[in-house]
Amino acid sequence: MQNKENIMTEHTPSLDVALAFTRAWSSHDMTAAARYVDDCIIFEGPLVQTTGAKPYLDDLALLANAVDDLEMIAAYGDDEQAMLMYELHTDKYGTLTCARYMTIRDGRIIADKQAFDSYGFRTLRAARHLR
């Protein structure tokens, strides 16, 4: 994960968890990433919504396998929340600009809301259905 010098961060425990989690999964270390995920996590994203650590981590692992690099744009946090904005560089989907809002309690992510332009995913999915 590359860091730009102009990233605005105030290190809080929640932000530290969010950044460590993001470093882990984007580096393909799902075992380390899982340490930051609550068993009852609720995920809301543009393509899927899940409840529970296993489906969340399974879906995240599929994305992580496509990631070549992650470039952090901004990171903010307070006592229980963290907001990250980053670019995911992938061979499969191109570059995806993502925003992620996480709720964190006792060092574990209990909720994750992600937004990104899903055009690359939708285009790939449509191409598969046409074959």
Domain CATH for 89: 3.10.450.50
Structural domain including 38 reads: 2-125
Q: Is 85 inside a domain boundary?
A: yes
Q: Is 100 inside a domain boundary?
A: yes
Q: Is 130 inside a domain boundary?
A: no
**Tens digits of residue pLDDT in 30-55:** 999 999 999 999 999 988 899 999 99
Q: Taken in order 64, 66, 72, 75, is the CA torsion positive or negative?
A: negative
Please tell me the distance from the alpha carbon of residue 127 to that of residue 7, in angstroms, as a whole number.
Answer: 37
Q: Is 17 inside a domain boundary?
A: yes
Question: In the predicted model, is pLDDT for residue 124 greater than 90?
Answer: no
Q: How many domains does the chain have?
A: 1
Please tell me the distance from the alpha carbon of residue 21 to that of residue 35, in angstroms, as a whole number.
Answer: 8
Please tell me the distance from the alpha carbon of residue 103 to that of residue 59, in angstroms, as a whole number.
Answer: 19
Taking the complete model, does pTM exceed 0.85, yes or no?
A: no
Torsion over CA of 55, 77, 2 and 23, rounded to 10 degrees? -30
